[in-house]
Structure 1
């Protein structure tokens, strides 16, 4: 398919995407021996998703995307090179799991590699929010992506590190310029009903304190903050840091191992529904966080992109 209306595409060296070895290490201490065995077992009960493609002729005939085992909570995805309709080699493989939460987003940019086997998507949720995620369905979706098209996106993530945020995590700002900026910004947003005016910087510079209280140090509470920072390396923006509120907690199993699953707020904007991400870990040290607590840490974010009506 010749798609003339693609989002912006950036192509980088395959090696800049890093290795999935770190990701497999989140599932097993012995990835070099365990993962090949698992991949073979996955092919015993395979699923071949079509993603955005409505029929087989829409799909890239040079690759297959195979997921399995079919009924497993965690599946193993394999991108397989195909020649003359026959499988030739596994190009890449990675673990995946589904999230029940979806959000509408457009694809702002596709960061892919020279082999075109995988990609990181810049997904714009709103004018102020963009999330970078590894595209779990890129092998079947990449021919279909349209610029300015709204898709349904589900975010999931694998946890490298997690920790509870202290209930009293605060800093005191006593720098006069910072105090002025903080209080001016609050006053201006209040006067404009929470909408950022076009001349915000000009209004901040013109703002003057009305009382001695306006000059007093400011206490900033970080304990209830929702925040997200994507990775700084091009092609690895999906390696992210976050802080958010736990709103759900469940468990699942894979290969006789227990995994803790947290549903966490990833993005929180005023007057907008929270964007939730499902995060999983099998690390015993990370299994005791509770609903209502705020946690933070480093995660690998994945996305499934579907049509809005799916």
Structure 2
């Protein structure tokens, strides 16, 4: 039965989502041989997450979502086509892991594919903050998402590349339009206790310099900046760039490999609690960053939604 209260859904071709092959290469140099073996092991100790579903009859009878191995640090997710309650074929497979970091968000938009096997969610955190994330539980949740309903969203990400941000890294802004935008934004945020007003762009457009100093070049220190940019390609907005500071560091193991887990700030508006995300990497080059350090890089962001927010 069609959900009449669903968020906006945009359907695109499956190939526009890109391939999970690139994601698997974050776990192994030999995805062609390792991944099929791993998926087989996952089926030896499977879990069938229910997401927002409260009972089995709420779930899509044409699709199974199977994760495993049970209790492993990394869960290998397989979306399987089902006919007459019998598995027919694996539609897609991808890795995921649990994160302790949650945000409260509504789902503005669901970008799905024609096979309806996967989706990217546009998550609205309020205060003009938007995050796009791959929905790891889409195959069980898709019929139950409601427009304007707040959900508790767990955020995690896989790191493609990471690098340290140099101390006192800065940029001189000398373009008149950019100078105006920067000074206008600072003045407007200062007048609103650091919170962006709903008509922020309108106020920026209306802002005018009050003196000659307001027209002078601006030196911007990027070394302590927290920033997040989602992907520009529809269906791949979950492929993001970020810069933030490390607030936690741990490790996990999977299939004989060590992974470093960094807890970093993804969004941090002045005067507001930071939005945190846990990112994973098995790359030896990225293991030595320390708590308090600012790093940046490219991420594949994932979301898990198990319940509505109170």
Q: Distance in 1 between matches of 2:150 and 2:188?
A: 33
Query: Is 1:200 aligned to residue 236 of structure 2?
Result: no
Counterparts of 1:257 and 1:192 in 2: how far apart (Å)? 48
Aligned to 1:296: 296
- 2:189–2:196 Cα contact (<8 Å) kept: yes
* SS at 1:57 equivalent: helix
- TM-score, normalised with respect to structure 1: 0.94
CA contact (8 A) 1:188 1:203 kept: no
* Count of aligned pairs between the two proteins: 307
Q: Is the 8 Å Cα contact of residues 181 and 204 (structure 2) preserved in structure 1?
A: no
Q: Tell me which residue corresponds to 1:265.
A: 265
User: CA–CA distance in 2 between the matches of 1:191 and 1:141?
Assistant: 41
The answer on whether the counterparts of 1:227 and 1:267 sit within 8 Å (CA) in structure 2 is yes
Distance 1:146 1:185 in 2: 34
Structure 2 CA distance for aligned equivalents of residues 271 and 254 of structure 1: 38
Per-residue deviation at 1:71?
1.2
Q: Deviations over 1:205-238 (max 9, x none)?
A: 2x311xx655554221000111111111111111
Relative to structure 1, the CA distance from residue 231 to residue 76 in structure 2 (aligned partners, 3 Å threshold; closer, same or farther) is same
Within 5 Å, give how 1:94-109 maps onto structure 2: 94-109=94-109
CA contact (8 A) 2:226 2:243 kept: yes
Distance across 1 between alignment mates of 2:85 and 2:178: 63
Task: Find out whether 1:250 has 2:253 as its counterpart.
Answer: no
Q: Is the 8 A contact 2:149 2:308 kept in 1?
A: no
Asked if the contact 2:121–2:132 (Cα under 8 Å) also holds between the matched residues in 1, the reply is yes
Q: Structure 2 vs 1, CA of residues 48 and 166 (structure 1 numbering), >3 Å: closer, same or farther? A: same
* Cα distance in 1, alignment partners of residues 124 and 134 from structure 2: 14
Instruction: Tell me the alpha carbon deviations over residues 159-206 of structure 1, each in whole angstroms, 9 at most, x when there is no partner.
Output: 11000000110112344554454344433443444455655246512x
**Secondary structure of 2:144's match?**
coil
Within 5 A, what are the aligned runs for 1:137-152? Answer: 137-152=137-152
**Mean Cα deviation higher: 75-84 or 174-183:** 174-183
Alignment of 1:1-310 (within 5 A): 1-175=1-175, 178-196=178-196, 198=199, 200-201=203-204, 203-205=206-208, 207-209=209-211, 214=214, 216-308=216-308
Aligned-pair RMSD on alpha carbons? 1.8
> Residue 187 of structure 1 aligns to a residue in which SS?
helix
Deviations 1:133-184 (A, max 9, x none): 1100001000100000000001111111000000110112344554454344
Gaps of 5+ in 1: none
- Distance change (3 Å), C-alpha of 1:286 and 1:204: same
Distance 2:278 2:288 in 1: 16
> 1:185/1:76 Cα in 2 relative to 1: closer, same or farther (>3 Å)?
closer
**Higher mean Cα deviation, 174-183 or 115-124?**
174-183
